[in-house]
Amino acid sequence: MTTRRKFLTTAGVGGAAALAAPTIARAQEPIRWRFQTYAGAALGEHVTKPIIDYINAASNGEMEIELFYADQIVPTGELFQALQRGTIDAVHSDDDSMASPTPLRQFGGYFPFATKHILDVPVLFNQYGLADIWREEYAKVGVQWLSAAGQDPCNFNTTKEIKSVADLDGLRLYTFPTAGRFLTKFGVVPVNIPYEDAEVAVQTGELDGMAWSGITEDYTVGWANVTDYFLTNNISGAWIGSFFVNQERWNELPENLKQLVMAGIEAGHTYRNQWYWGGEARLRARGDKLELRTVPAAEWAEVENAAKEFWDEVAGEGEINAKIVSIFRDYNEVVNQAGPPYTNG
């Protein structure tokens, strides 16, 4: 039997140290997520991958997120269902493309003329209450909405010249569901195909172009190689997209990793702000692949006025719709009173 005297004796020669030596625990397995973005690989390199890389590098081995690009696990239109089921743990997309089963669906992506510039989106969410609406509506369907941000405007890149509103008539364009619904008022034929097929569809004549992005994406993803003209008029000043997580996966994260995920997303927002804003200017001024065309402002006002009627139409479809349209109206009234640089003119 070890006596107190013997313990004190052996302590001097390592006995106590041996007894107190900590057990070397096996490292805990990292939390693993499968994450799919709406963007193809070339675009995803800028709009989603920096965030995933940030989280993986900063998590100190506690978390590993595997990134998949457009349609790699499921088609973009099935993203939300896959997120609810847990087939995918997290998603970067607009509500419109992923077929959100909420009243918010048509307000993601490009809701006609809701925004004028990229920074309008975080302002609308953080200062005008859209974040609360998004968070509450997605909680009802078992998904954690995390954050939204703006990206590029919705211009047109086409194989045919657009010099008047009448030139839109009959154009077959790859575009977002709600943008397409609006553009049918001017004779546009929206075409729904997988993202990565759009470039080939222009080359085969199935498409006349895209009403999907600004000029930065046109150059980045290769669309500037297969179309000839870029219309400087747009139908929306910024894309509205969000980050979503399966509710159970989010609840399982410890607080430090939740904070890390949010930090990565916010850092990604900052990167995209400058990447798009600088790219839109540089490529309009110095790009050598697309010829710029502009419909005179007085004539393009016909499209802007049609958007006001479209807003009324959508507002009449439900209480949440009316609330969001009211916020857009309030914000647009503010920026129009403020004038340049908040407005385009």
pLDDT in tens, 256-266: 999 999 999 99
DSSP state of 210: E
Between residues 91 and 13, which one has the greater pLDDT?
91
Q: Within 13 Å and on the Cβ side, how many CA atoms surround 92?
A: 32
The confidence score (pLDDT) of residue 145 equals: 98
Q: Reduce the DSSP state of residue 104 to 3 states and report it.
A: coil
Domains of the chain with bracketed CATH: 31-152+237-286 (3.40.190.170), 156-236+289-338 (3.40.190.170)
Report phi then psi at 11, rounded to 5: -60, -35
Tell me the one-letter amino acid at 42. Answer: A
Which uninterrupted H or E stretch holds 240?
strand 240-246
Q: From residue 240, how far is each of 117, 202, 282 by CA, in Å?
A: 11, 25, 22
Report, as an integer, the average pLDDT of 3-27.
42
Average pLDDT, integer, range 112-120: 96
Report the pLDDT value the prediction gives residue 343, as an integer from 0 to 100. Answer: 87
Residue 14 has pLDDT above 60, yes or no: no
pLDDT score for 116: 95
Nearest CA-CA partner of 305 in 132, 97, 165, 119: 165
Closest to 47 (Cα-Cα) out of 286, 279, 328: 279
Predicted confidence (pLDDT) per residue in 171-223, tens digit: 999 999 999 999 999 999 999 999 999 999 999 999 999 999 999 999 999 99
pLDDT at residue 21 in the model:
44
Percentage of residues of the chain with pLDDT beyond 90: 91
What are the φ and ψ backbone dihedral angles of 235, each rounded to 5 degrees? Answer: -105, 0
pLDDT score at 27: 57
Give the residue with greater pLDDT, 15 vs 285: 285
Question: Tens digits of per-residue pLDDT, 307-340?
Answer: 999 999 999 999 999 999 999 999 999 999 999 9
Which of 44, 231, 236, 273 has its CA nearest to residue 153?
A: 236
Per-residue buried b or exposed e for 168-182, using 16+ beta carbons within 10 Å of the residue's own CB: beebbbbbbbbbbbb
SS3 for 201? helix
Given pLDDT bands bounded at 50, 70 and 90, which one contains residue 345? low
Q: Are 223 and 208 in contact (CB under 8 A)?
A: no
Q: What is the pLDDT of residue 28?
A: 81
What band does 1 get if pLDDT is binned at 50, 70 and 90?
very low
Backbone angles phi, psi at 231, to 5 degrees: -90, 120
Least confident of 5-9, 231-235, 286-290, 333-337: 5-9
The pLDDT score that the predictor gives to residue 8 is 40
Q: For all residues of the chain together, what is the average pLDDT?
A: 93
The CB-side HSE value for 167 (13 A sphere, CA atoms) comes to 18
Asked if 135 and 104 count as a contact pair (C-beta separation under 8 A), the reply is no
At 19 the pLDDT is 40
Question: pLDDT tens-digit profile of 49-94?
Answer: 999 999 999 999 999 999 999 999 999 999 999 999 999 999 999 9
